Amino acid sequence: MAWLQRINDPVCQPLAGSLGEIYAAQRERLGAVTPFELAVLGGRAMATPGLAFLIGYQAALRVLWPSAPDSLGALCATERRSVRPADMHTRLAGLRLSGSKDFVTAGLEAEWLLVAARSEGAGQPAQLQLAVVYPGEPGVTLEALPTLPLMPEVGHARLQLHDAACELLAGDGWDAYVKPFRSLEDLYVLAALTAWLYGVGQHCQWPQALRLRLLGLLAGCAEGSRQSADSAGCHLLLAGLFAQFQELRAALDQALQQGPAHWAQLWQRDQGVLALANAARETRLAKAWSAAGLA
């Protein structure tokens, strides 16, 4: 496990420069790594939990699209707070896209976008395809959204598409991309944030037992990275990993409160990102539990 051999490297990325520059510096430092190694080793080195989230998010994108460019990207699916295909209005006509997406992670610094768009014919059930567009190209516009209290250093934007030229990815947009990404994002962000906490623990000399529990959680995440993201086994394992993390919360809070206030304040500010998809995870767990014959 290459990540385990390198996780104690005392490297911390300074909170300086643009998101793109911070991410590029990590890619150059780490060299050729797997997406899981990117999430763990990159997340470990980040100055804030928000930047660790960004690294985990980028790692998940590279599982979804292995040939993704090296720069920052984003998956754009949400419209009016929904990712259900039937609720989407962004349309694909040939190799042209028109519509809008509510939320672009990395905001104006995202250099490529995966866009979920409706492609079915009139009167047919909703069907998605995934297209690639590039900000700055004709018909592709990003509008910065107000800074959020949660992870304020990670910008967000709204995407507007007006007959924009695109490239298409092979496979069904829902089954091959949007649906599995929800689990991939959960897993790789959890790994990145756990690695960030491990780095804080190394810096602050937390009790060995707590740091070992964090390493054990990362080992479970490593096993999760080897599972198919849309399988019942993956959803059961992912739920177990989040349950393990929840069991650590009291010990983590105590350790953070006993150290420099800076770390505790950052964690208090950003830890809510792990709760954003609780309802969706519970739904996937219930289906996986039933599929495994455990209901």
The predicted-structure confidence for 136-175, as pLDDT tens digits, reads as follows 999 999 999 999 999 999 999 999 999 999 999 999 999 9
The amino acid occupying position 84 is: R
- Segment 286-295, tens digit of pLDDT: 999 998 888 7
Nearest-angstrom CA–CA distance, 225 and 231? 12
Nearest-angstrom CA–CA distance, 60 and 82? 20
Backbone angles phi, psi at 195, to 5 degrees: -65, -40
Nearest-angstrom CA–CA distance, 55 and 29? 14
- As a whole number of Å, the CA-based R_g of the chain is 19
CA-CA-CA-CA torsion sign (45, 49, 51, 52): positive
* Least-confidence region, from 5-14, 221-230, 261-270, 273-282: 5-14
- Extents of the domains making up the chain: 2-64+176-291, 73-168
pTM (two decimals): 0.96
CA-CA-CA-CA torsion sign (97, 100, 103, 108): positive
Pick the CATH number of 73-168 from 2.40.110.10, 3.30.2010.10, 3.40.50.970, 3.40.50.300: 2.40.110.10
Element (H, E) at 197: helix 179-204
Element (H, E) at 162: strand 156-165
The amino acid occupying position 226 is: R
- Token pair 């996780």 in the structure block, residue: 7
Query: Across-strand partners of 105?
Result: 156
Nearest-angstrom CA–CA distance, 200 and 196? 6
